[in-house]
C-alpha cells in the first residue's frame, strides 16, 4: 500500500504535464491560424479596403475599368485642356447607334486623337431585355471594355466599337465565343477570360446605366458640355460642326 501511494503524485504530475503541453499546443495552433487569416485578409483588403479598381456591389465584386473611379459612369478616351467635353451614350444592340457610328464615329475618334475634345463613352445595357437570351447589350459592352482595359488603350476601344457595330446581330445576339473572336481579331487582344467572367458587366449595369437613365432619354445621345446635341445623327460631320461651334 505504501508503494502504491508513493506512485500517485508521480502519475498526477505526468497527467498534469501532458495537459499543460496540450494546452500550450492549442494556444500555439490558434495563434498560427489567426496569423494566417489576418495575413489573407490584409492581402485581400490592402491598406484600408478595396483597391482602386475593386469595390463591393449588390451583385458581388464590382471591377472598375482602368482609370475609372467608383462614381465614374464612362470611359474617358481623351482629355482636352481647352476643348469641350463630349459625352456619347450608345448601346451595341441599338440600330440607330450603328447608324450614328457610321456617320459620326470617324470624326469623334479623330477629334479625340487630336486632343480637341474630352471624349467620354457611356456603353449602356439599355436593350438587354430585347435580345434572346437577354443580356446581349451588357455582354457586348463588356467585350469592348475588356479590349480597352488590357492596356487602357483608346485605340482598342475604337476598334472594338467599330467591329461590334459593323457586325451588329439581330435579337439573338452573339455568343461569348463569337464576341471573343470578333473583338479579339479586331484589337489583337486576348479577352477570352474577361468575356467569360463578365468582368465589367456589374459596372455597366450598376454604374453606367443608372446615370444614363437619370440624364438621357435613350441611345444614341450626345452631350456637348452638358447640352444635348439635337442635330441629324445620320448627317456626316454634324457632331463635329456642333463641337466646333460650341
For 43-105, the three-class secondary structure string (H helix, E strand, C coil) is HHHCCCCCCCCEEEECCEEEECCCCCCCCCCCEEEECCCCCCEEEEEECCCCHHHHHHHHHHH
> What is the C-alpha to C-alpha distance for residues 177 and 173, in angstroms, rounded to an integer?
12
| Exposed / middle / buried, residue 103 (Cβ in 10 Å: 0-12, 13-18, 19+) | middle
Residue 20 CA: distances (Å) to CA of 7, 77, 106, 239: 20, 66, 78, 81
Note down pLDDT in tens along the chain; length 246 residues: 444 444 444 444 444 444 444 544 454 344 444 443 344 443 333 333 333 355 554 455 899 999 999 889 999 999 999 999 999 999 999 999 999 999 999 999 999 999 999 999 999 999 999 999 999 999 999 999 999 999 999 999 999 999 999 999 988 899 999 999 999 999 999 999 999 999 999 999 999 999 999 999 999 999 999 999 999 999 999 999 999 998
User: How confident is the model at residue 105, as a pLDDT?
Assistant: 98
Query: Is the peptide bond between 101 and the residue preceding it cis, with omega within 30 degrees of 0?
Result: no
3-state helix, strand, coil in the chain (%, to 5): 55, 10, 35
| 3-class SS of residue 128 | helix
Cα-only R_g, the chain = 29
E strands along 101-204, which residues? 118-123
Pick the CATH number of 60-244 from 3.65.10.10, 2.170.130.10, 3.40.50.2300, 3.40.30.10: 3.40.30.10
User: How confident is the model at residue 41, as a pLDDT?
Assistant: 40
User: How confident is the model at residue 17, as a pLDDT?
Assistant: 47
| Exposed / middle / buried, residue 177 (Cβ in 10 Å: 0-12, 13-18, 19+) | exposed
**Best CA proximity match to 157, nearest among 95, 112, 209:** 112
**Best CA proximity match to 146, nearest among 162, 161, 130, 132:** 161
Quick check: pTM over 0.85?
A: no
| 3-class SS of residue 3 | helix
> What is the C-alpha to C-alpha distance for residues 154 and 72, in angstroms, rounded to an integer?
17
Q: Domain residues of the chain, as ranges? A: 1-49, 60-244
Amino acid at each position: 500500500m505504501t508503494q502504491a501511494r508513493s506512485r500517485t503524485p508521480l502519475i498526477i504530475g505526468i497527467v498534469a504535464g501532458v495537459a499543460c503541453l496540450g494546452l500550450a499546443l492549442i494556444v500555439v495552433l490558434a495563434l498560427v491560424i489567426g496569423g494566417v487569416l489576418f495575413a489573407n485578409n490584409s492581402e485581400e483588403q490592402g491598406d484600408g479596403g478595396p483597391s482602386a479598381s475593386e469595390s463591393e456591389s449588390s451583385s458581388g465584386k464590382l471591377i472598375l475599368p482602368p482609370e475609372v473611379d467608383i462614381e465614374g459612369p464612362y470611359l474617358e478616351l481623351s482629355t482636352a485642356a481647352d476643348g469641350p467635353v463630349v459625352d456619347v451614350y450608345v448601346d451595341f444592340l441599338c440600330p440607330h447607334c450603328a447608324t450614328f457610328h457610321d456617320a459620326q464615329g470617324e470624326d469623334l475618334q479623330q477629334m479625340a486623337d487630336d486632343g480637341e475634345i474630352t471624349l467620354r463613352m457611356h456603353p449602356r445595357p439599355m436593350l438587354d431585355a430585347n435580345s434572346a437570351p437577354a443580356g446581349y447589350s451588357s455582354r457586348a459592352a463588356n467585350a469592348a471594355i475588356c479590349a480597352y482595359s488590357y492596356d487602357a488603350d483608346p485605340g482598342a476601344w475604337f476598334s472594338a466599337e467599330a467591329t461590334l457595330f459593323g457586325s451588329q446581330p439581330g435579337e439573338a445576339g452573339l455568343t461569348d465565343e463569337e464576341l471573343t473572336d470578333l473583338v479579339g481579331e479586331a484589337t489583337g487582344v486576348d479577352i477570352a477570360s474577361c468575356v467569360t467572367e463578365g468582368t465589367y458587366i456589374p459596372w455597366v449595369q450598376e454604374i453606367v446605366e443608372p446615370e444614363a437613365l437619370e440624364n438621357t432619354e435613350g441611345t444614341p445621345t450626345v452631350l456637348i458640355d452638358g447640352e444635348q446635341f439635337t442635330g441629324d445623327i445620320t448627317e456626316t460631320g454634324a457632331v463635329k460642326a456642333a463641337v466646333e461651334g460650341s
